[in-house]
Structures are given as C-alpha cells and as structure tokens.
Amino acid sequence: MLSEKTLQALNKQIALEGNASASYLAMASWCERQGLNGCATFFYDQSAEERMHMMKIIHYVNEMDGHAVISAQGQPKGEYDSVQELFKAVYLQEKSVTSAIYELLSISNKENDHSTTLFLQWYVAEQREEEAQIRTILDKIKLIGTGGQSLYFIDQEVQNINALRGQEEAEAEEGIA
C-alpha cells in the first residue's frame, strides 16, 4: 500500500517521464528535418525508452493498489537553433529527472516504504547511464567544434552510439551482458 505522499510523487514522475518521451519525440522530428538521421534515430529510441520508464511506474502504482494518473501533456518545444543547443537542453532535462527520482527516494525512505525504495533503484542506475551518455555526446560536440562539416561528424558520432546501444541491448536480450 502506498502512502498518499508517495502516490502523489509517483504520479508526478509518471507525468515527467511522459513529458520526456514527448520532448524526445519532438527533438527526433526536428533532427530528421535537419537531415541528422543519426541524431533522429537516437531521439526516437530515447522517446520509446522514456515511454517504457513511464509504463513501469504506471504498472508499479497499480500493482501496489494505487491509482496511476495519466495527465495531459503540453506541446513540447519543437524548434532549436542548433544541435549543440538541443543536446544541452537534453542534459538539463535528464538532470531534472534525476533530481525528481532522488526526491522520490527521500520520500520513500522517510516513509519506510522499502518496496518503492527498491523499485526506484533501477531508475537511479538508469539516470546515471543516461546522464553519462549525454555528457559523452556533449564532449564530442565540443571536440568537433563548429567547422564546416561539424554537423556531419556529430551525426556520425551519435550514429556510432546508436550502434553500440543496439549491440548492448541485443547482448542483454541474449543474456550475455
């Protein structure tokens, strides 16, 4: 059984993950329009991941006899001045999601809700990985600079990350990793 406070915080997190999914979908569409196909693939995949994060919480809340609330989402930002601006926005967004997870954890800890605390461990690890991945991309963007073919090289780097991610997922599915 979830306390009212924990339930509210989990429902807030459902909305945050849903917003992240919509936001990444809008980013993917923007990248596709710019011809940045590697970046577009990255964000379409990321949008699906965020939806999965949201679904996990919905199922958890319902399993705990709570009521998972699905709230309407506003229109996400759909225009960016540059790919650099876009990835900086992603990093800030992920950091705010991490803060929300930590906030949730401190609530579940205070309430001795061990089940929710355990459930949230997966999110802590996931956020660490996501933030590290975006930092890697931001570092590459910085190294590549803003020269003539920079967009091409940035897109290539993100495409390499997509390939690596696909490989890791396939290995995890086969039980290798």
Q: Say if residue 130 carries a ligand binding annotation.
A: no
DSSP state of 75: P
Q: How far is the CB of 122 from ligand FEO (least distance, A)?
A: 10
20 binds ligand FEO (CB under 6 A): yes
177 CB contacts (<8 Å, ≥6 apart)? 168, 171
155 binds ligand FEO (CB under 6 A): no
Contact (CB, 8 A) for 87 and 155: no
Out of 2, 9, 10, 17, point to the residue binding ligand FEO (CB under 6 A): 17
Rounded to whole angstroms, what are the CA distances from 154 to 5, 94, 137, 172? 43, 20, 8, 27
- DSSP code per residue over 117-146: HHHHHHHHHHHHHHHHHHHHHHHHHHHHTT
Residue 86: other Cβ atoms inside 10 A: 20
50 binds ligand FEO (CB under 6 A): yes
Question: Residue 119 carries which side chain, given as an amino acid letter?
Answer: F
Q: Say if residue 63 carries a ligand binding annotation.
A: no
- For ligand FEO, which is the closer residue by CB, 2 or 14? 14
Residue 52: other Cβ atoms inside 10 A: 12
Q: Say if residue 53 carries a ligand binding annotation.
A: yes
- The closest residue (CB) to ligand FEO is 53
- For ligand FEO, which is the closer residue by CB, 6 or 23? 23
113 binds ligand FEO (CB under 6 A): no
- For ligand FEO, which is the closer residue by CB, 62 or 99? 99
158 CB contacts (<8 Å, ≥6 apart)? 36, 38, 39, 41, 42, 137
105 binds ligand FEO (CB under 6 A): no
Q: Which two tokens stand for residue 132?
A: 């590290």
Out of 25, 27, 94, 104, point to the residue binding ligand FEO (CB under 6 A): 94
53 binds ligand FEO (CB under 6 A): yes
Annotated binding site for Fe cation: 17, 50, 53, 94, 127
Residues in binding site: 17, 50, 53, 94, 127
